[in-house]
Copies of this chain bind each other. A is one copy, B any other.
Amino acid sequence: MATIAPSRRVRRTPFSDGVEAAGVKGYTVYNHMLLPTVFRSVVEDYHHLKSAVQVWDVACERQVELRGPDAGRLMQMLTPRDLRGMLPGMCYYVPTVDETGGMLNDPVALMLSDDRYWVSIADSDMLLWVKGIAYAFHLDVIVDEPDVSPLAIQGPKADELAARVFGDGVKDLRFFRYGYFDFQGQQMLVARSGYSKQGGFEIYVEGAENGMPLWNALMEAGKDLDVHAGCPNLIERVEGGLLSYGNDMTRDNTPHECGLGRFCSTQTAIGCVGRDALLRVAKEGPVKQIRAISIEGELPPCDRLWKITAKDKVIGQVTSAAKSPDFNTNVAIGMVRMTHWDEGTQIQVETQDGPRMATVHEEFWI
């Protein structure tokens, strides 16, 4: 296994000292920043995430801040989701597309006030897209990356841990809502959200200097809950069907192909870039779509597209895969053509180590 080379360009986070002290063993790079991928082992981390509670350095979920009189107008330009019902205190998952309806990112937007939003991004420089649009349309808005770094608390004991640090009020937060909670005299934005199916919170830490005090407080408060440093877990996210931009969807895909049609109100999302392109696909539906796929046999790491074939014809691709201890199969995410996307369809997946028998499923492992 090759190591990752240190450089300033691959940014450390406000929590990196804690991550290193916890013995991080693997990283990826996400939005030009370090994102841990494994601490003890992917399997050990997986079992622990499902049974206890973890603190995750997800500072790489960088924010694009829109601020000014045109912030709301710009926010609606970025997504086919109808934002008219959005209010301060709410988080919206907002697929973001270009003029052809191709996915540019799949961020979570937070409305802070009428004229201020944070867009918590997946792995592409959405800041540049938003800046380009705002500049060329002469919008009265400032677009920038603030010094805000999310830290996640995930796992079945997340409520208990969060309550110990932020008070019991945090337990009352509904899914994809946020509130402000006191930490050592500061108000911190805490949302009920996160990139796992185990539940939990994301704290949007403002000011890099506030990172380690919060990290340490959570680790200290959670000792008897068996809290550990963790990170988005490949196995758990594939089981749960949590898509990853750049892995399972790219600019080649529409939101509808990614199974995100329910977040698109293309008819009413007036002003959204890509509306024209998406109106037809919204009406007729996509010809290929994301599916859960179980694969037989031993698998190499899914570090490239794996073609899916049926009777020697290419009918899709697998983009993420992992061996699931709990479900006793290889779980995978892929894009499958309409002709083969029904439950139970037998297909073949072409890995770098050879072909594997596989089955299409309509539901993920949840």
Q: Give the interface of A toward B (CB within 8 A).
A: 1-10, 12, 24-29, 32, 37-38, 98-99, 104, 123-126, 128-133, 135-137, 234, 244-247, 273, 301-305, 319-320
Query: CB-nearest residue of chain B relative to A17?
Result: B352
B5 x A28 contact (CB < 8 A): yes
10 inter-chain pairs at a CB distance below 8 angstroms, sorted by A residue, are: A1-B3, A4-B26, A7-B28, A7-B244, A9-B246, A10-B28, A29-B29, A128-B132, A130-B132, A135-B136
A131 x B98 contact (CB < 8 A): yes
Which of the listed residues A6, A246, A301, A302 has the most CB atoms from chain B within 10 Å of its own CB? A6
B8 x A28 contact (CB < 8 A): no
Q: Which of B9, B301, B305 contacts A6 (CB 8 A)?
A: B301
CA of A159 to CA of B125 in the docked complex: distance in angstroms? 37
Q: Top 9 nearest A-B pairs by Cβ distance?
A: A132-B132, A136-B136, A9-B246, A29-B29, A6-B303, A125-B125, A5-B37, A128-B129, A6-B301
Q: Which of B28, B123, B273, B319 contacts A4 (CB 8 A)?
A: B28
State the number of copies, please. 2
Q: Which of B8, B130, B132 contacts A304 (CB 8 A)?
A: B8
CA of A195 to CA of B130 in the docked complex: distance in angstroms? 30
18 further contact pairs, Cβ within 8 A, besides A6-B303, A9-B28 = A1-B3, A4-B28, A5-B26, A7-B234, A7-B244, A8-B302, A9-B123, A9-B244, A29-B29, A32-B124, A98-B131, A125-B129, A126-B128, A132-B133, A132-B136, A133-B135, A133-B136, A136-B136
A27 x B9 contact (CB < 8 A): no
Query: CB-nearest residue of chain B relative to A132?
Result: B132
Please, which residues of chain B bring their CB within 8 A of the CB of A38? 5
Please, which residues of chain B bring their CB within 8 A of the CB of A28? 4-5, 7, 9-10, 29
Please, which residues of chain B bring their CB within 8 A of the CB of A246? 8-9, 32
CA of A13 to CA of B28 in the docked complex: distance in angstroms? 17
Query: CB-nearest residue of chain B relative to A30?
Result: B9
Which of the listed residues A3, A8, A126 has the most CB atoms from chain B within 10 Å of its own CB? A8
Which of the listed residues A5, A126, A137 has the most CB atoms from chain B within 10 Å of its own CB? A5
Report the minimal beta-carbon distance from A47 to chain B, rounded to whole angstroms: 19
With known contacts A132-B133, A132-B136, A133-B136, A25–B8 Cβ distance under 8 A: no
CA of A301 to CA of B7 in the docked complex: distance in angstroms? 7
Which of the listed residues A9, A26, A129, A135 has the most CB atoms from chain B within 10 Å of its own CB? A9
CA of A131 to CA of B130 in the docked complex: distance in angstroms? 10
B7 x A303 contact (CB < 8 A): yes
A8 x B303 contact (CB < 8 A): yes
Query: CB-nearest residue of chain B relative to A124?
Result: B125
A99 x B301 contact (CB < 8 A): no
With known contacts A98-B135, A126-B128, A303-B12, A4–B3 Cβ distance under 8 A: yes
Report the minimal beta-carbon distance from A284 to chain B, rounded to whole angstroms: 24
CA of A302 to CA of B10 in the docked complex: distance in angstroms? 11
Please, which residues of chain B bring their CB within 8 A of the CB of A132? 128-133, 135-136
CA of A204 to CA of B38 in the docked complex: distance in angstroms? 36
CA of A302 to CA of B320 in the docked complex: distance in angstroms? 33
Report the minimal beta-carbon distance from A159 to chain B, rounded to whole angstroms: 29
A26 x B8 contact (CB < 8 A): no
